[in-house]
Chains A and B, each alone.
Chain A
Amino acid sequence: MTKFIDLTLNGISTGAIYAAVALALVLIWRSTRIVNFAQGAMLMFTTFIASAVLNGGGSYVLAFVVALAAGLALGGVIERVVVRPVENAPPLNAVILTLGLYTLLVAIAGMIWGNTPRSFPAAFSLRGYRVGGTNLLFTPNDTFTVLVVIAVAVALALLFRRTSLGLRMRASAFAPEVARLLGVRVGRMLTLGWALAAMTGALAGVLVAPSVFLGPNSFDPILIIGFVAAVLGGLDSPPGAVIGGVVLGLALSYVSGYEGSALVPLAALVILVVVLMVRPTGLFAATRERRV
């Protein structure tokens, strides 16, 4: 029973990270219909920047804020400079472009910071809470992770649902031409969408770095699992991405705990295949509303 509780708690905290990655992918898919394969490299890059701040003597809080700001800037610049020219081109162009961007960012990071993985500190203690004489597999740092992801998800939901900026962004995503006819500066909204997505990704990077170490390629598995979570949630739905992330976190935690951690990537891919076969629109896709 303790093991089950442990695995559940662990699944929730890793699920929160997958949720953040999935959210980053979904925000970009929704606004520009591009699957951002460079997301893993982008969040690796911003985490390296945070690590540089820490090495330079900055506090954890400063490094955290710098990582998010760097994500915001990186996402915005990439959309404006690199992605904008292919936005109206065939979808394959954008796919190849994000793959190229991935390679480029990984190479640049390796040149600047080296290819040897380094450690990255956690915000809070990594010693599990003590309950009734045993240590739970849930740490103060996990609490921090879950709370931060919830906060960001809620903030994004409020932005999209409650503000006029969010209304403009949704309109630009759903119907760019009509949005332009209503005076919405769609280009800016797309830039902002990429910036927010990259910021959410940067958040995931800083949160997951303590457990995977920090190297140019160390976040690739997280991106793959985040992608599965996004597909599980429907690729189109931010709430779906969050739920998909948590569901996947739990599922993979049980697989890892009961069957062995070697099976985790396999299990993620099995889930991906099953979702695509049984319910290709994902669990929470809003596409049924799209028929006009």
Chain B
Amino acid sequence: MLTIEELTTDYGPIRAVDGVSLKVPEGSVTAVLGANGAGKTTLLRTICGLVRPTSGRVKVEGEDITRWAVEEIVRFGVAHVPEGRGVIAELTVQENLRLGGLWRGREAMPIREIFDLFPRLEERSGQPASRLSGGERQMLSIGRALMGRPRALLLDEPSLGLAPVLVAQIMSMVRRLADTLGLAVLLVEQNARSALSIANHGVVLNLGQVVVEQEPSKLVADERLLHAYLGF
């Protein structure tokens, strides 16, 4: 589904992503773990076209999308939920959601289904997104990405700044989305335990390189490894 081959991205003299290769099959969750500055966010931003790679390829269902414009990549079905919950504060909750489905035209997901998934958003549908709490913004970002019925979902630190209860809710939601919609989910997280609890594959990134690639259950058990790369 989503295949990344030897992807390398530089910021000037700094190599942020260094020869990363990954496969995210349909209906599965791949967790990419790493400390601050490990290159996780850059990896996602490169996949969705916001940053240009130095070398390497990104393929979605065999199609090479590496040099496409951001909006064309999105229109090909790769949805990116940016870090820091990129809701558009000036627009209402409903407008944010509608915007996510516009490019799909008539085939966009009915807004009703998003409200069923996140009832909180329905209660707040007419309010500007600036009034939402952190958790609600995260729900809005994810819901908005789903409006376009993507094939692949790139999630950048959805747990950032959220209470543990909310993190658990969001994680189980992500798992359910992968199972029911057949989404290929690439989940970038610092919160290793909650990410690994729902993942099919675990990858640890350090200084832009893949240092470990393992079964989530083995990764969780490996205290020494988590301590070395994630700092706990």
**Residues of A in contact with B (beta carbons under 8 Å apart):** 164, 167-168, 170-171, 174-175, 177-186, 286, 289-292
Contact = CB atoms under 8 A, between A and B. Distances in A.
B150 to A, nearest CB: 10
B99 A184 contact: yes
A84 B230 CA distance: 43
Interface of B: 48, 50, 69-71, 74-75, 79-80, 82, 86-91, 95, 98-100, 102-103, 128, 130, 144, 148
Interface on chain A toward B: helix, strand, loop, or mixed SS? Answer: helix
Nearest to A178: B86
B88 A178 contact: yes
A289 B131 CA distance: 9
Contacts of A170: 90-91, 95
A174 B144 CA distance: 17
Contact of B95 (A167, A184, A286, A292): A167
Contacts of A183: 71, 74-75, 102-103, 148
B92 to A, nearest CB: 10
A171 B79 CA distance: 17
A292 B98 contact: no
A278 to B, nearest CB: 25
Contacts of B95: 167, 170
A181 B80 contact: yes
A292 B140 CA distance: 14
Nearest to A184: B71
A33 to B, nearest CB: 15
Contacts of A292: 89, 130
B74 A171 contact: no
B90 A181 contact: no
A92 to B, nearest CB: 24
A292 B91 CA distance: 12
A167 B91 CA distance: 9
Nearest to B82: A181
B82 A178 contact: yes
B144 A182 contact: yes
Given A171-B99, A290-B90, 9 more contacts: A170-B91, A170-B95, A175-B88, A179-B99, A180-B69, A184-B71, A186-B71, A292-B89, A292-B130
